Amino acid sequence: MSDTATPDFVGDHDVDQTTLDIIESTLSNTRHEMDRVVETTAISPVIREQSDQFPLIADAQGRMVMGQFGSAIDTILENSPFDRDDLNDGDVIATNDPYACAGAVSHTPDMLLLRPIFYEGDLVGFSSQWGNLMDVGGKTPGSMPVQATTIFEEGMRLPPVKLYKEGEFDSELLETFAHNTRLPEHAEADIKALAAGTKAAETRVHELCDRFGKETYVEACDAILDRTRAGMIDLIHEFVPEGERYTFEDYVDDDGMGNGPIKLHLEIYREGDTVYLDWTGTDEQVPGTVNFLLNEQMFKMFTGVFLIMAFDPLLTFNDGYYDLFEVTLPQGSVVQPEFPAALGNRLPLMARQFDVLQATFSKLIDGFSVAGSYGTSPNLVYAGTDSEGNDFQMLEILYGGIPARPGGDGLDGHSWWPLFRTVPAEYQEAYYPLTIDEYSTRADTGGAGEFRGGHGITKVYTFEAEGAITFQDDRAHTYPWGVDGGKHAQTSEKKLLRTDGTEEELPSKVENVPVSAGDKLVFSTAGGGGLGDPLERDPAVVAKEVERGLVTESAASDEYGVVLADDGGVDEAATADRREELRSERDEPAAFDYGPLPDDADLEERIAAERREFEDRHD
């Protein structure tokens, strides 16, 4: 008789290693399948083309086992008229109210659907999917006004309610919601697409339970969470020193109403296995719409994702490590605003908290530094009536420069979210009355360094119908910093070229600016900061980037000390001389290069004056 191999059980869990790997891989693939189902079912370009949706698979306790944006299932149920005992097979809960889910969705255009998953009558988990709808009502097309002071101006808010009850679709509820949007067909189709995404996850979980048994599936979810937690403890002990406190500050330009700059302040320290992250010292909430209701669980996920992606990218990020982080979010601050603060354009603060988080870690982790980014997810809404009398509304997310990181350049014109894509110009021109004249990389906008920061982009639109534009961006006044001798990146710019030949410089956040057929908008985003001494950058790489139009010849000489020969190659002798000249002229490179910033009082007045001048022109 041959010996029977002993199962390779994982820790204290009654599941073997092979089974666990199969279940974890299946859930990982299911996460991407959920996205694919939504993208091929939705009709709005912000989801269908740009992938602005986020999936989640959780266990029966509501802990995210696999996903992309963190879980707030307990909070959603607490703010609903039902509890876990009232959940049934076939139910789907819908909400787009940030205050009802503690910021798990952070502005009203984000619709979240939550499906409890039952197997043989028992709750075994949840699937969730949320996506950015094109419009949910409110005072401006796109439901992201700049001139708003309460969330009541930002559109229809749906509290957590059952859109599906035991599989029965509540068509009247959806019709009522869609009726209050400017694009009811888009809202209906996209919400149903999100529901289909949650159904795809339910199907795969059922298949895993069929194959391995319900008890094994539940045990595997616990093991996946515990494996991530153990991996995070190792990362914390290896990379987060104990005993010292590290702080960093950065600023969002303004709230779009003349208030700014807006300070973010973070302190990080470790005691034992626990990392403490304290936002005390961050500015109070502002009147405008850039307040960010930062979900505590979500921020724990962001922190863990930073450590995982930097040092152990094979580790699954999930709710398993949340007890290892303690977060302080001051009530009434811009990262924990109080109801009914406006939240529609929270993206500058959302992206900037990533910058501040990684900069603080740059101080405490030896040999690991990351520069500053373009600092938001710029968006543009163009709405009006075309030549045939049809109403239209376009919403687009734009991108900028990703910061340089150890061992590599930042990405040019890229989103903070890795899976986001650009809307093809052909799509926009086919469905909306506009022409895309240019979509290009902005040379020299990424910070110089041994590793260059990513460049911003310029996109030029010619509007072919009368309408209005609303957009938000940032980094028009504050610079994405360079680190460890790297240089700061360049700021964003917006310019409107009228058919009468006049040019108008626009602030980074505007609402309902009228445009006529033939007007052009030049939308330019900021770059990302550089890392390391630019004079240590490979001269051949600089020459290649000059050839490709990413770096100008003057910047090659002035920033990198690279002199080009007549054939476009590197003049080695002249480059050596030029670099020696630059070294002799400069001061010791700074740890952080914040750019030529005035003091806070001067910047505050400049921001307020810019808003006054803009409002005077458009009064």
Residue 306: partners with Cβ closer than 8 Å, 6 or more residues away: 354, 357, 358, 361
Q: What is the pLDDT of residues 146-177, one digit of tens each?
A: 999 999 999 999 999 999 999 999 999 999 99
Average pLDDT over residues 21-47: 96
Question: What is the pairing mode between strands 325-328 and 274-278?
Answer: parallel
Q: What is the pLDDT of residues 393-452, one digit of tens each?
A: 999 999 999 999 998 999 999 998 777 899 999 999 999 999 999 999 999 999 999 999
Q: What is the CA radius of gyration of the chain?
A: 25
pTM for the model stands at: 0.94
Q: Say if residue 24's pLDDT is above 50.
A: yes
Task: For residue 305, give the H/E element and its range.
Answer: helix 296-311
What's the CA gap between 346 and 334, in Å, rounded?
A: 9
Sign of the alpha-carbon dihedral angle for 176, 181, 182, 186: negative
Model confidence band, residue 11 (pLDDT cutoffs 50, 70, 90): low
CA distances from 253 to 270, 527, 603 (A): 31, 15, 9
Sign of the alpha-carbon dihedral angle for 83, 88, 91, 92: positive
Residue 162: what pLDDT?
Answer: 98
Domain ranges of the chain: 17-230, 246-294+329-533+589-617
Residue 5: what pLDDT?
Answer: 54
- The backbone torsions φ and ψ at residue 406, rounded to the nearest 5 degrees and listed phi first, read -55, 120
Give the DSSP per-residue string, 580-595.
HHHHHHSPPPPSEE--
Least confident of 59-68, 345-354, 599-608: 599-608
Residue 1: what pLDDT?
Answer: 40
Average pLDDT over residues 205-216: 97
Give me the residues paired with residue 513 across strands.
469
Residue 73: what pLDDT?
Answer: 92
